[in-house]
A = this chain, B = another copy of it.
């Protein structure tokens, strides 16, 4: 469902005014949080009229979802650039892990909401988080299958492996505290090379 929305949204190019609205909403959410940001705040920041804003996003939740989906698309696009620079399947695993962990650690909106309004975001990332796991799994599965088609790794069902990777990251987003390195990139690469690369040899 979420996956379909992301794909549909990705296929539909944003017009300039939608883009302005989403930029203004993202700014406001990062600054004031979801709860305290009103539709009026967003209209004012975007420099458009209330009527225009409500025509495009009839409810506050529609706007929150649209901003969230754009952040997910941007996140995946940024990680994809790092992954595509890697020379082989093993390096794609290592550089992908580093890019994703760094990207999540530095993600301003996600960290802002997790720390100031956990009650607003935790249910959607946990009990109702199936679509988020599915989205990450779908992306990772495609990446693994590309390397399988190219003959770089053996031909096995990539979906469970993709989901294990998605779930490792899922747990690290929700509970960063632990013994898997998340700050020192040299240590992160060493961890991924020792403990994650062997996953490709299913």
- Other A-B pairs, 16, CB within 8 Å; known A119-B119, A161-B195, A163-B178: A122-B126, A127-B174, A129-B174, A130-B178, A132-B175, A156-B194, A160-B180, A160-B194, A163-B179, A164-B168, A167-B167, A167-B171, A170-B171, A170-B175, A171-B174, A198-B202
Q: Are A137 and B178 in contact (CB under 8 A)?
A: yes
How far apart are A117's CB and chain B's nearest CB, in angstroms?
12
Rounded to whole angstroms, the CA-CA distance of A198 and B114 in the bound complex is: 34
141-174 of chain A: CB within 8 A of chain B: 156, 159-161, 163-164, 167-168, 170-172, 174
Question: From DSSP, what is the main secondary structure of chain A's interface residues?
Answer: helix
Closest to A157 in B: B194
Q: Which residues does A use to contact B, with CB under 8 Å?
A: 114-115, 118-119, 122-123, 125-127, 129-130, 132-134, 137, 156, 159-161, 163-164, 167-168, 170-172, 174-175, 177-180, 191, 194-195, 198-199, 201-202
Q: Are B160 and A127 in contact (CB under 8 A)?
A: no
Q: Are A177 and B133 in contact (CB under 8 A)?
A: yes
Closest to A129 in B: B175
Q: Which residues of B contact A167 (CB under 8 A)?
A: 167-168, 171-172, 178, 180
| Shortest Cβ-Cβ A-B pairs, 10 listed | A130-B177, A167-B171, A126-B174, A129-B175, A170-B171, A171-B171, A122-B122, A160-B195, A163-B179, A133-B178
Q: Are A159 and B177 in contact (CB under 8 A)?
A: no
Rounded to whole angstroms, the CA-CA distance of A168 and B162 in the bound complex is: 12
